[in-house]
Amino acid sequence: MHVLATAGHVDHGKSTLVRALTGMEPDRWAEERRRGMTIDLGFAWTTLGSGRTVAFVDVPGHERFVPNMLAGIGPVPAALLVVAADEGWMPQSAEHLAALAALDVRHGLLVVTRSDLADPGPATAQALAEIAATSLGQVPAVAVSGLTGAGLDNLRAAIDDLVDALPPPSLDEPVRLWIDRAFTVKGAGTVVTGTLGAGVLRVGDELALGDSVVRIRGLQSLGRSADSVEAVARVAVNLRGTPRDDVSRGDALLTPGRFRPTELIDVRVHGDPTAALPSTMTLHAGSAAVPVRVRPLGDDTARLRLARPLPLRIGDRALLRDPGLHHVAGGVTVLDVVPPGLQRRGAAAARAATLSKLDGHPDLAGELARRHLIRAADLAAMGVPLPDEAGPAFRSPTPASPKPVAGPGGAPGHDARSPSVVTPVVNDWYADPSFWASLLDRLPTEVAAYLKEHPLEPGMPLDALRHRLALPDRALVTALLRPPLSTRNGRVATAVAGPPAELVALVERAFDGLSPFAAPEAHALTELGLGPRQLAAAARTGLVLQLAPQVVLAAGAVEQAAQVLATLPQPFTLSEARRALDTTRRVAVPFLELLDRRGITQRLPDDRRQLRP
Q: Which amino acid is at 471?
A: L
pLDDT in tens, 524-577: 888 888 888 888 777 777 788 888 888 888 888 888 999 999 999 999 999 999
- What's the confidence (pLDDT) of residue 537? 77
> Is the pLDDT score of 310 beyond 50?
yes
Beta-strand ranges (E) seen in 48-178 are 53-58, 78-84, 107-113, 141-143, 176-178
The CATH number given to whatever domain includes residue 250 is 2.40.30.10
How far is the C-alpha of 54 from the C-alpha of 46, rounded, in Å? Answer: 6
Q: Are 121 and 218 in the same domain? A: no
- In a domain? residue 171: no
pLDDT in tens, 15-34: 888 888 888 865 443 333 33
How far is the C-alpha of 5 from the C-alpha of 493, rounded, in Å? Answer: 66
- What's the confidence (pLDDT) of residue 64? 41
Q: Are 382 and 479 in the same domain? A: yes
Residue with the bigger pLDDT between 295 and 451: it is: 295
Q: Are 11 and 142 in the same domain? A: yes
- What's the confidence (pLDDT) of residue 443? 93
CA distances from 336 to 299, 359, 366, 393 (A): 17, 10, 12, 19
**Residue 346: HSE in the Cβ half-sphere, 13 Å Cα cutoff:** 1
Are the CB atoms for 376 and 351 separated by under 8 Å? Answer: no
Domain boundary among 437, 470, 497: 497
Q: Which residues contact 557 (CB under 8 A, 6 or more apart)?
A: 516, 517, 545, 591
- In a domain? residue 170: no
How far is the C-alpha of 374 from the C-alpha of 260, rounded, in Å? Answer: 14
The CATH number given to whatever domain includes residue 528 is 1.10.10.10
- In a domain? residue 572: yes
Question: pLDDT band at residue 103, thresholds of 50, 70 and 90?
Answer: confident
The CATH number given to whatever domain includes residue 80 is 3.40.50.300
Q: Looking at residue 471, what DSSP letter applies? A: -
Neighbours of 556 (CB within 10 A): 11
Domain boundary among 497, 530, 556: 497
| Count of the separate structural domains present in the chain | 5
Q: Are 54 and 103 in the same domain? A: yes
Q: Provide the phi-psi class of 129: left if phi over 0, else alpha when psi is between -120 and 50, else beta.
A: alpha
Portion of the chain with pLDDT greater than 70, in percent: 88
- In a domain? residue 412: yes
> Is the pLDDT score of 609 beyond 50?
yes
HEC letters along 93-113: HHHHHHHHHHCCCCEEEEEEE
pLDDT in tens, 397-431: 444 333 333 333 333 333 444 334 578 899 899 99
Q: Mean pLDDT score of the chain, rounded to an integer? A: 84
> Is the pLDDT score of 583 beyond 60?
yes
Question: pLDDT band at residue 70, thresholds of 50, 70 and 90?
Answer: low
Portion of the chain with pLDDT greater than 90, in percent: 45
How far is the C-alpha of 605 from the C-alpha of 551, rounded, in Å? Answer: 27
Range ranked top by mean pLDDT from 5-19, 206-220, 388-402: 206-220
**Count of H-run helices and E-run strands, the chain:** 19, 33
Are the CB atoms for 466 and 476 separated by under 8 Å? Answer: yes
How far is the C-alpha of 136 from the C-alpha of 98, rounded, in Å? Answer: 11
Least confident of 252-256, 337-341, 383-387, 476-480: 383-387
Q: Are 240 and 298 in the same domain? A: no
- In a domain? residue 13: yes
- What's the confidence (pLDDT) of residue 45? 83
- What's the confidence (pLDDT) of residue 75? 61
How far is the C-alpha of 22 from the C-alpha of 5, rounded, in Å? Answer: 14
Across 25-51, average pLDDT: 57
Q: Are 22 and 155 in the same domain? A: yes
Q: Are 16 and 154 in the same domain? A: yes
Q: Which residues contact 119 (CB under 8 A, 6 or more apart)?
A: 85
3-state SS class at 511: helix
Q: SS3 breakdown of the chain: % helix, strand, coil, rounded to 5? A: 30, 30, 40
- In a domain? residue 191: yes
pLDDT in tens, 138-195: 999 999 998 888 999 999 999 999 998 888 888 889 999 999 888 888 888 899 988 8
How far is the C-alpha of 270 from the C-alpha of 52, rounded, in Å? Answer: 34
Least confident of 102-106, 158-162, 482-486, 496-500: 496-500
Residue with the bigger pLDDT between 58 and 247: it is: 247
Q: Are 380 and 520 in the same domain? A: no
How far is the C-alpha of 483 from the C-alpha of 462, rounded, in Å? Answer: 16
Angle between helices 66-73 and 91-102 (to 10 degrees): 40
Question: pLDDT band at residue 394, thresholds of 50, 70 and 90?
Answer: very low
Q: Are 479 and 582 in the same domain? A: no
Question: pLDDT band at residue 59, thresholds of 50, 70 and 90?
Answer: low
- In a domain? residue 484: yes
> Is the pLDDT score of 39 beyond 60?
no
- Which of 410, 387, 397 minimizes the C-alpha distance to 439? 397
Q: Which amino acid is at 582?
A: D
> Is the pLDDT score of 287 beyond 50?
yes
Across 56-85, average pLDDT: 65
pTM, two decimals, is: 0.75
> Is the pLDDT score of 495 beyond 70?
no
CA distances from 74 to 7, 37, 99, 328, 424 (A): 12, 21, 9, 14, 36
Q: Which residues contact 514 (CB under 8 A, 6 or more apart)?
A: 520, 554
Domain boundary among 165, 197, 212: 165
- What's the confidence (pLDDT) of residue 165? 87
Question: pLDDT band at residue 60, thresholds of 50, 70 and 90?
Answer: low
Q: How many residues are given for the chain?
A: 613
Q: Are 492 and 532 in the same domain? A: no
Q: Which domain holds residue 437?
A: 365-497
Q: Rounded to the nearest 5°, which phi and psi values hold at 457?
A: -85, 150
How far is the C-alpha of 492 from the C-alpha of 409, rounded, in Å? Answer: 20
Burial 370-394 (b: 16+ CB within 10 A, else e): ebbbbebebbbbbbbebbeeeeebb
Q: Are 149 and 288 in the same domain? A: no
Q: Are 516 and 603 in the same domain? A: yes
- In a domain? residue 116: yes
Q: Which amino acid is at 472?
A: P
Are the CB atoms for 458 and 489 separated by under 8 Å? Answer: yes
Across 124-145, average pLDDT: 93
CA distances from 352 to 338, 356, 432 (A): 15, 6, 22
